[in-house]
A and B are shown apart, each in its own frame.
Chain A
Amino acid sequence: MKGFKIIVLAKQVPDTHNVGKDAMKEDGTMNRAALPAIINPEDMNALEQALRIKDQYPETQITVLTMGLPKAAEVLQEGLYRGADKGILLTDRKLGGSDTLATSYAIAQAIKNVGDYDMVLCGRQAIDGDTAQVGPQAAEKLGIPQVTYAEEIENISESSITIRRRLESGVETVKAPFPVLITVHGSAAPCRTRNAKFYMKNKNDESKITTWGADDIKVEDDKVGKAGSPTTVKKIDAVVLQAKESKKLSDSDADIDGLIKDLLSNHILG
């Protein structure tokens, strides 16, 4: 048995824990350039699954694909440091402002441009939007089946892959043929750390990273960017809290005792 051809989709995302309103541009899209960036956590779970298949079948070829600003090439380097074979950076002004539909179209075009593949692996969702839409939409654009919320690959053979899925209210095990797109859940194994050997080998070597623009993947202009995005942001409102008249208390015994008595006498507590 030879190896598999795997494409891992990874996205550089703003660290959503510490961002304010200045992170948005006036048209309601994100000002990504201004934000601290990390690799989307669930994409790392997806990369780990790919690497495990390569552990088992060393001839497996892993290509990491990312779409974003030129800076997103960092994601690809991180992939190479962990054992991926190639990286593709899809970057073009024309792709800016794309919603999930336009993004999935561009990604599907890039995947078609890579050519032959058995599997596309990606995180379930990205932490900057939590939509979980690009995976299934890319699968649809490619005309291949999808398996969402993968938690563990239970078995893989030449003709099929058996996957345990993590659902809200349980688990499901499915068997899918190739090619297939798999979105990986955060409950799957965390990604391994950088490998010293791969790090030394790839640190100063950019030959494994290819950069593609919109023309390289033959996109139709009206299907990408703002023009290709059916959703429009009508407005962005800052949330104004309707400040309540709140009772201010300290952590003293008297105050806590008073709080509990208040709640009991108002029948909030029984």
Chain B
Amino acid sequence: MNNLFVFCETENGVVADVSLELLSKGKKLAQTLGCKLEAIAVDYNLYNIGRQIFKYGVDVIHVADDRKLAPYQTLPTQKIICDLVKQEQPQIMLFGATSIGRDLAPRVASALRCGLTADCTSLEIGDHEEKKTVKEENGEIKQIVTPYKDLLYQIRPAFGGNIIATILNLHTRPQMATVREGVMKKEVFDENYKGEIKKIDWQKSVTDLDFAVEIISRHIEKSKINLKAAPVIVAGGYGVGSKENFQLLHELAEVLGGQVGASRAAVDAGFCEHERQIGQTGVTVRPKLYIACGISGQVQHRAGMQESSIIVSINTDENAPINAIADYVVTGDVATVLPKMIKYYKANSK
């Protein structure tokens, strides 16, 4: 049975948000395809996993649960997944584009000789016709059309500005993709949904050599910056100009009860920390209010914020691409406008 599989990332037995989001999306795709949704988890102390994820519509959870398998290690996890894929023949397999997913998925794809698309911003099911021109022996040129049904459209902004690419795997299975946290919406399918838990006989897949890389120490902390939950985001781009000017964004965010975000250009320029990056290769956010300061608005950035309820753009360039999706366009300098916003918010909110 060619089902849809999601790699379920866990830390101390707790399923990561990105995996719940992928299960939510995976369920919809599985319904379109008329197949089952299955999950794989490799960790220790996974006794609670059913209660965490069945409600997302998971039909089967494949579990490799052992002290030796935690925390995450590349080689054992890769071997376990590859053997399971060979046995179960899924048509689609999704991973979170996290530190773990981006370490694991390419290695799995390479071992299975499958295509993998990184950082998809949308996944759809659709058909395709492959057209090939061949020259017959008699010199006649013929076009051969091969139809494909129900493929996974792996959609992502591609290199260089305003381009969205749709990528397909025609001949290899599973069709593999990674998706960043926050891109898909987390939605419970049915609180009472019940699936089945299957134990993976993982010792068959793994040898001692796969434990060659030894974890000496590990410090994981929950990020203090929670952009996804912020009702207001004040985000800065390269146009903010300096780290000092970025301080103005922090002041406005503080006053409005929001968080500071940034475009990639601002992060690359060293204006603020990487954890605040919004966009295809950062976080995806949907706040009530998004204030874009000196952000031009490349498609990779817009992919991470365009579903905000209200967008205010502050830019000296009145033709900045982001202005096209903004509800309010303020043409002016960030250093002038932000102090005024703080002033008038304080004056009007009392």
What is the interface of chain A, defined by CB distance below 8 A to chain B? Answer: 14, 16-17, 19-21, 23-24, 28, 30, 99-101, 104, 128-137, 139-141, 145-149, 162, 167-177, 180, 229-239, 241-244, 246-251, 253, 255-257, 259-264, 266, 268-270
Q: Which of A169, A230, A257, A262 contacts B172 (CB 8 A)?
A: A230
Within 8 Å by CB of B309, from A243, A251, A260, A268, lies: A268
- Name B110's contact: one of A140, A147, A257 (CB within 8 Å): A140
- Docked Cα-Cα span, A256 to B312, in Å, equals 11
Chain B residues contacting A263 (CB-CB under 8 Å) are: 289, 310, 312
Q: Which of B43-51, B58-66, B189-197, B317-325 contacts A (4 or more CB under 8 A)?
A: B317-325
Please determine whether B118 and A131 come into contact, CB atoms closer than 8 angstroms.
Answer: yes
Q: Which residues of B contact A134 (CB under 8 A)?
A: 106
Question: Does the CB pair A256–B118 fall under 8 Å?
Answer: no
Interface string of B158-192 (1 = CB under 8 A from A): 11111111111111100000000000000000000
Specify which of A139, A168, A230 is in contact with B107 (CB 8 Å cutoff).
Answer: A139
Q: A241 near B324 (CB under 8 angstroms)? A: yes
Q: List 6 A–B pairs whose Cβ atoms lie within 8 Å, in order of A's numbering.
A: A169-B99, A229-B115, A234-B128, A234-B153, A238-B162, A244-B324
Q: Would you give the shortest CB distance from B313 to chain A, in whole angstroms?
A: 8
Of A19, A99, A104, A263, which is in contact with the most chain B CB atoms at under 10 Å from its CB?
A263
Q: Which residues of B contact A (CB under 8 A)?
A: 71, 74-75, 78, 98-99, 102-107, 109-111, 113-119, 128, 130, 153-154, 157-172, 212-223, 232, 256-257, 265, 280-281, 288-289, 299, 302, 309-310, 312, 318, 321, 323-333, 336-337, 340-341, 344-345, 347-349
Asked whether B102 lies within 8 Å of A175 as measured between CB atoms, the reply is no
Residues in B whose Cβ lies below 8 Å from that of A266 = 310
> How far is it, in angstroms, between the C-alpha of A130 and the C-alpha of B347 when the chains are bound?
45
Query: What is the chain B residue whose CB lies nearest that of A166?
Result: B99
B162 touches A176 (CB 8 A): no
**Cross-chain contact A169 with B223 (CB below 8 angstroms):** yes
Question: Which among A235, A250, A266 has the greatest number of chain B C-beta atoms within 10 A?
Answer: A235
**CB-CB nearest in chain B for A135:** B106
**Which residues of chain A have C-beta atoms less than 8 A from B232's C-beta?**
269
Pick the contact of B168: A145, A232, A260 (CB < 8 A): A232
Contact present for A247 and B327 (CB under 8 Å):
yes
CB-defined contacts of A233 to chain B, threshold 8 Å: 165-168
Number of A-B contacts (CB under 8 A): 249
Residues of B within 8 A of A248 (CB): 318, 329, 331
Q: Which of the residues A130, A146, A251 comes within 8 Å of B281, measured between beta carbons?
A: A130
Q: Is the CB of A174 within 8 A of B118?
A: no
On chain A, the residues within 8 Å of B321 by CB distance are 241
A246 close to B327 (CB less than 8 A): yes
Residues of B within 8 A of A24 (CB): 158-160, 163
Which of B214, B219, B257, B324 touches A243 (beta carbons < 8 Å)?
Answer: B324
CB distance from B109 to the nearest CB of A (A): 7
On whether A249 and B328 interact (CB within 8 A), knowing A101-B110, A140-B107, A177-B212, the answer reads yes
- Given contact pairs A21-B161, A259-B344, a sample of 4 additional A-B residue pairs in the complex whose CB atoms are under 8 Å apart: A146-B103, A171-B219, A239-B302, A263-B312
Across the interface, which residues of A come within 8 angstroms of B171, CB to CB? 230
CB distance from B69 to the nearest CB of A (A): 15
Is there contact, CB below 8 Å, between B166 and A101? no
Q: In the docked arrangement, what's the CA distance between A175 and B216, Å?
A: 7
Instruction: Identify which of B110, B158, B222 contacts A141 (C-beta below 8 A).
Output: B110
Report whether A250 and B332 are in contact in the complex, using a CB–CB cutoff of 8 Å: yes
Nearest to A146 among chain B residues (CB) is B74
The one of A17, A167, A175, A237 that contacts B214, using a Cβ cutoff of 8 Å: A175
| Smallest beta-carbon distance B8→chain A, Å | 17
Distance A23 CA – B280 CA, assembled complex (angstroms): 20
| Cβ-defined contact, A251 with B337, below 8 A | yes
A251 engages B326 (CB within 8 Å): no
* Complex Cα gap A128–B160 (Å): 8
| With A129-B159, A251-B337 as contacts: A167 and B99 at CB distance below 8 Å | yes
